[in-house]
A and B are shown apart, each in its own frame.
Chain A
Amino acid sequence: MTTQTQTECRSLLAAERHGFWHLVHSEWTKFRTVRGWVVAVLITIVVIPAFAFVSTSRGDGCATGNGSGTASPVACPAQPTGPGGVPVIDEFYFAHQPVTGNGTITAAVTSLTGQALVGSNQLAPAGLEPWSKAGIILKESTAQGSAYAAMMVTGSHGARMQWDYVNDTAGLTGSVSPSAPRWLRLVRDGRTITGYDSADGTHWTLVGAATLPGLTSTVQAGLFAAGSFSDTGESILATGVFRHIGLSWPAAGWTGTNIGGPNAVPVPGTLRHSAGTLTVASFGDISPAAGGAYMGSGQPIQDVLAGTFLGLIPLIVVAVLFITAEYRRKLICVSLIAAPRRGRLLAAKAVVIGAVGFVAGLVGATLALAVGIHLLHGNLQWPVSLLIETRIVVGTAALLGVAAVLALAIGTIVRRSASAVATVIVVIFVPHLLAFNPLSNGNGPGAPGGWELQITPAAALSVQQSAPRFHQLLTNYSPNAGYYPLSPWAGLAVECAWAAAALALAFLLLRRRDA
Chain B
Amino acid sequence: MSLTVRAPAPRYPLGHALHAEWTKFRTMAGPSWLLAGLVTLTVVGLAAASAARCQSATCRIDPAMVSFAGIYLGQAVAAVTGVLAIGNEYSTGMIKLSLTAMPRRLTWLFAKATVLTAPVLAAAALAVAGSALAGRLILPGHGFTPAHGYASLTSATDIRAATGAVLYLTLIALLSLGLAAAVRDSAATIGLVLGVLYLFPLAAAIVSSPALARHLDQIGPLPAGLDAQATIGVNSLPLTPWQGLGVVALWTAAALLLGALALIIRDA
Q: Does B66 contact A (CB under 8 A)?
A: yes
- Indicate if the CB atoms of B202 and A436 lie closer than 8 Å: yes
Interface residues of B: mostly helix, strand, loop or mixed? Answer: helix
Task: Known contacts A54-B203, A440-B48; decide if A418 and B66 are in contact (CB<8 Å).
Answer: no
- Indicate if the CB atoms of A422 and B77 lie closer than 8 Å: yes
- Report chain B residues within 8 Å CB of A69: 204-205, 210, 213-214, 217
Q: Does B65 contact A (CB under 8 A)?
A: yes
Pick from B76, B204, B209, B236: contact of A422, CB under 8 Å: B76
- Report chain B residues within 8 Å CB of A420: 187
- Indicate if the CB atoms of A480 and B205 lie closer than 8 Å: yes
Pick from B53, B191, B210: contact of A63, CB under 8 Å: B210
Stretch touching chain A among B2-10, B193-201, B253-261: B193-201
CA distance A419 to B38 in the complex (A): 12
- Indicate if the CB atoms of A417 and B208 lie closer than 8 Å: no
- Indicate if the CB atoms of B209 and A57 lie closer than 8 Å: yes
- Report chain B residues within 8 Å CB of A438: 61
Q: Does A173 contact B (CB under 8 A)?
A: no
- Indicate if the CB atoms of A321 and B187 lie closer than 8 Å: yes
Taking the closest CB of chain A, its distance from the CB of B243, in whole angstroms, is: 16
Q: Does A429 contact B (CB under 8 A)?
A: yes
Taking the closest CB of chain A, its distance from the CB of B71, in whole angstroms, is: 10
Q: Which residue of A lies closest to B223 (CB)?
A: A69
Q: Report A35-63 residues with CB < 8 Å from chain B CB.
A: 51, 54-63
Pick from B191, B202, B217, B238: contact of A314, CB under 8 Å: B191
CA distance A72 to B214 in the complex (A): 11
Pick from A63, A324, A429, A452: contact of B198, CB under 8 Å: A429
Summed over the interface, the residue pairs from A and B with CB atoms below 8 Å come to a total of: 147
The winner among A317, A418, A421, A436 for most chain B CB atoms within 10 A is A418
- Report chain A residues within 8 Å CB of B72: 430, 433-434
Stretch touching chain A among B78-86, B119-127, B157-165: B78-86
Taking the closest CB of chain A, its distance from the CB of B107, in whole angstroms, is: 25
Task: Known contacts A309-B199, A432-B202, A436-B202; decide if A421 and B191 are in contact (CB<8 Å).
Answer: yes
Interface string of B205-248 (1 = CB under 8 A from A): 11111111110010000000000000000001010000000000
Q: Does A286 contact B (CB under 8 A)?
A: no
- Report chain B residues within 8 Å CB of A306: 202-203, 206
- Report chain A residues within 8 Å CB of B73: 426, 430
Q: Does A67 contact B (CB under 8 A)?
A: yes
Taking the closest CB of chain B, its distance from the CB of A26, in whole angstroms, is: 22
- Indicate if the CB atoms of A70 and B214 lie closer than 8 Å: yes
- Report chain B residues within 8 Å CB of A426: 73, 76, 194
CA distance A58 to B186 in the complex (A): 37
Chain A contact-residue range equals 35 or more
Taking the closest CB of chain A, its distance from the CB of B201, in whole angstroms, is: 6
- Report chain A residues within 8 Å CB of B76: 422, 425-426, 430
Taking the closest CB of chain A, its distance from the CB of B229, in whole angstroms, is: 12
Q: Does B87 contact A (CB under 8 A)?
A: yes
CA distance A21 to B194 in the complex (A): 36
CA distance A102 to B33 in the complex (A): 79
- Report chain A residues within 8 Å CB of B185: 417
Q: Does B62 contact A (CB under 8 A)?
A: yes
Q: Does B174 contact A (CB under 8 A)?
A: no
- Indicate if the CB atoms of A70 and B199 lie closer than 8 Å: no
Interface string of A424-460 (1 = CB under 8 A from B): 0110011011101111101100000010100000000
Q: Does A303 contact B (CB under 8 A)?
A: yes
Q: Does A244 contact B (CB under 8 A)?
A: no
Q: Report A255-277 residues with CB < 8 Å from chain B CB.
A: none
Q: Does B169 contact A (CB under 8 A)?
A: no
Taking the closest CB of chain B, its distance from the CB of A427, in whole angstroms, is: 10
Taking the closest CB of chain A, its distance from the CB of B143, in whole angstroms, is: 11
Taking the closest CB of chain B, its distance from the CB of A56, in whole angstroms, is: 7
- Not counting A54-B212, A309-B202, A310-B199, a sample of 9 additional A-B residue pairs whose C-beta atoms are within 8 angstroms of each other reads A59-B211, A69-B210, A69-B217, A70-B238, A418-B186, A418-B189, A422-B76, A433-B202, A439-B62
- 7 smallest CB-CB distances across A and B, nearest first, come from A59-B209, A69-B213, A417-B187, A418-B186, A61-B210, A317-B191, A59-B211
Interface of A with B (CB < 8 Å)?
Answer: 51, 54-63, 67, 69-73, 297, 299, 303, 306, 309-310, 313-314, 316-317, 320-321, 324, 328, 417-422, 425-426, 429-430, 432-434, 436-440, 442-443, 450, 452, 480
6 A-B pairs with C-beta separation under 8 A: A62-B210, A63-B208, A417-B91, A421-B187, A430-B73, A434-B48
